[in-house]
Amino acid sequence: MNYKKILLGAAIFLAVTSCKKTFDDLLNDPNNPTPAAADVDLFLNQTQLGFNLFTSGSPANLASGYYSASDLGAHMSRQEFLFFIGGPFYRSAYQPQSFDPVWDWSYSSDATYGVGGVINTANALIPLAEEQKRYVNAGIARVLEAYTYGTLVDLFGDVPFTEASEGAANPNPKTDPGATIYAAVQSMLDSAIADFQKPGLSAGPANDLFYGGDTSKWIPLAKTLKLKFYMQTRLVDNTVTPKIAALIAENNLINNPSQDFVFSYGTSVSPDSRAPHYAVNYVAAGSGAAEYLSNYFMWLVTAQKYGGNVTLNSALNTTTGDPRSRYYFYRQQPDYNWANPTALQCYTKWAAGIYPSWYPSVPDQTCYCLVGAANGNGRGYFGRDFGDNAGSNPNAGFITTYGVYPAGGAFDDNSAGGKNGIDNTFGAKGQGIFPIWLSSYTKFLEAEAALALGITTNGDARTLLQSGVDVSIKKVMGFPGTVGITPPASLVPTATQISNYENLVLSNYDAAASTDAKMDILMTEYYIALWGNGIEPYNNLRRTGKPSNVQVAAAVPDPGHFIRSFFYPSVFVNRNLNAPAQKDPGNAVNKVFWDNNPDDFIK
């Protein structure tokens, strides 16, 4: 026997395997952990960050023209401005590839966007966490995955679920019915609640980006999400009313601002941790804001209740107006003295009170071109009408932009930053939040349940409406102090202004002659309180048709069918052999399963 050859062979084998182990170790990316890494906290990081990208986006995704789930909903509900990129019709407002990031942030496990998808990372995390008895991590992953699946259904309808996590074993997963996925979402939330109630739990993970490891806050969130998804099915499922009633009666929901479910941003520019809309709009001095705000939403907040005239809380004005206006919006110019047809194509018609014949016919009670009446009471709120696909005029330094709440911008203190150019030192420097679910939303949802379903355990609809408005105003007014901003005392809304506003809302509610009209008041106030979260107003609009006065498309009398669900993303229909045929919003109304409202009841 040649021992020298055996020893040499063993040495070579050990050297090769040692090198392979060394090289394999170098291939492990700590930012995109694999199951072999078995680090539950790293998987939790990825799940949370992917969830944030899916729901609220990132500066890079906004700048490239792609959208998050929140922006998509905000555009369709007129909370944000929607540019009809391919022509003046709904069917050309988007392209299938517009939805690729949302899809990838949901499902993908690759690093195309620097973060793995919520669903794949959550499904990798959960069995590892259970094996290590890290039940809080597992519960958090289940809550985020449940919200993601429910929102995918809300955006697209039927999507992959039962086969979605089979990976390389099944690269062509089939879709499941939306109702089936919604039922699974409820089961996921029940499993999460069970995780959070396991005996002997220690403190939650230190890298809990939402509640800082406070396990006690995750159960009310999970139960509130159960309520939200049940309410979204109330039109098509007659079994949900007792389930809704039970959740409300148990009263273990997000009812206190300390329980609010938000993602908090920072002020770092590189790497960019700022709120997306701040990062896009507060850039180089002199360049002005990059995004138009929605004329309709600004009008609804500042002018609709006041005959079309904008009211501001100011030492030079009255004590009327929505107390949140200076927090929501930052005016780069305080008036319309700059306006001319070059900077604003529709200005001549606006100033003369001439409106397109097919546009709503009462100028002082609807918005067109500029917010406010043509008598000079607009006071500088300048955005764009829904669907306006005209080219960008030289007006970036004039347009109104995002304020201190929730985008971390500037409080509107009449300084008119556009004269000198807003930049990335303004306001809270991007230290905003994405308001995923706030306690005020719970109040409005309970008010809807009281009005539509007769569930008045926690009060009647009127009482809950007032509570929702009051909690929203206090949340918004208290936000600057949490990010180091102190508004001028003379411009902070007074107790009288807050009371006047709430009394006006209640007076309008009392005067509403029907349940439908009362629902319109309720859902309009909910819509205003949802500023910064576009997911819920899109759902509410499809479920209730409210607000009923949403602005019609500005470009043509008949823009086609309102989008009741979006195109399937191109990465799904082009790469998956089992994907359904692509939708055509221009030829058919493609509703999600819980939307049984008539065709074209939203224009």
- Using one digit for the tens of pLDDT, what is the confidence trace for 453-485? 999 999 999 999 999 999 999 999 999 999 999
% of the chain residues with pLDDT over 90? 63
pLDDT at 549 over 80: yes
State pTM to two decimals. Answer: 0.92
pLDDT at 543 over 70: yes
Q: Return the pLDDT at 374.
A: 65
- 60 pLDDT band, cuts 50/70/90, is low
Q: What is the mean pLDDT of residues 70-87?
A: 89
Q: Return the pLDDT at 338.
A: 85
pLDDT at 176 over 50: yes
What does the pLDDT look like over 197-220, one tens digit per residue? Answer: 998 776 789 999 999 989 999 999
Q: Decide which of 360 and 382 is more confident.
A: 382
Q: What is the mean pLDDT of residues 121-132?
A: 94
Contact 419, 333 (CB under 8 A): yes
pLDDT at 109 over 60: no
Q: Return the pLDDT at 318.
A: 53
Q: What is the mean pLDDT of residues 473-499?
A: 95
| Ordered structural domains, the chain, with CATH | 35-213 (1.25.40.390), 438-571 (1.20.120.840)
Q: What is the mean pLDDT of residues 323-352?
A: 88
What does the pLDDT look like over 223-277, one tens digit per residue? Answer: 999 999 999 999 999 999 999 999 999 999 999 999 999 999 999 998 899 999 9
What does the pLDDT look like over 412-425, one tens digit per residue? Answer: 998 887 556 789 99
Q: Decide which of 157 and 199 is more confident.
A: 157
What does the pLDDT look like over 512-528, one tens digit per residue? Answer: 999 999 999 999 999 99
**Per-residue CA distances from 471 to 8, 254, 464, 466 (Å):** 77, 12, 10, 9
Which H or E element spans position 175? strand 175-176
Task: List CB contacts of 164: < 8 A, sequence separation 6 or more.
Answer: 107, 119, 173
Q: Decide which of 398 and 259 is more confident.
A: 259
Q: Return the pLDDT at 497.
A: 92
**DSSP of 219-236:** HHHHHHHHHHHHHHTTTT
- 10 pLDDT band, cuts 50/70/90, is very low
The DSSP 8-state label assigned to residue 320 in this structure reads: -
% of the chain residues with pLDDT over 70? 85
Phi, psi of 424 (to 5 degrees): -80, 15
pLDDT at 2 over 50: no
> Of 72, 53, 425, which is closest to residue 276 (Cα–Cα)?
53
Q: Which of 367-381, 540-554, 579-593 has the highest mean pLDDT?
A: 540-554
pLDDT at 508 over 60: yes
Look at the block and give the residue holding tokens 């429910």.
150
197 Ramachandran zone, left/alpha/beta (phi>0; psi -120 to 50): alpha
Average pLDDT, the chain: 87
Q: Return the pLDDT at 555.
A: 62
Half-sphere exposure of residue 210: CA atoms within 13 angstroms, side-chain side: 27
Retrieve residue 109's tokens.
Answer: 């496990």
Contact 408, 336 (CB under 8 A): no
3-state SS string for 364-415: HHCCECECCCCCCCCCCCCCECCCCCCCCCCCCCCCCEEECCCCCCECCCCC
Q: Return the pLDDT at 311.
A: 80
Compute the distance between CA of residue 366 and CA of residue 459 in angstroms, rounded to an integer. Answer: 33
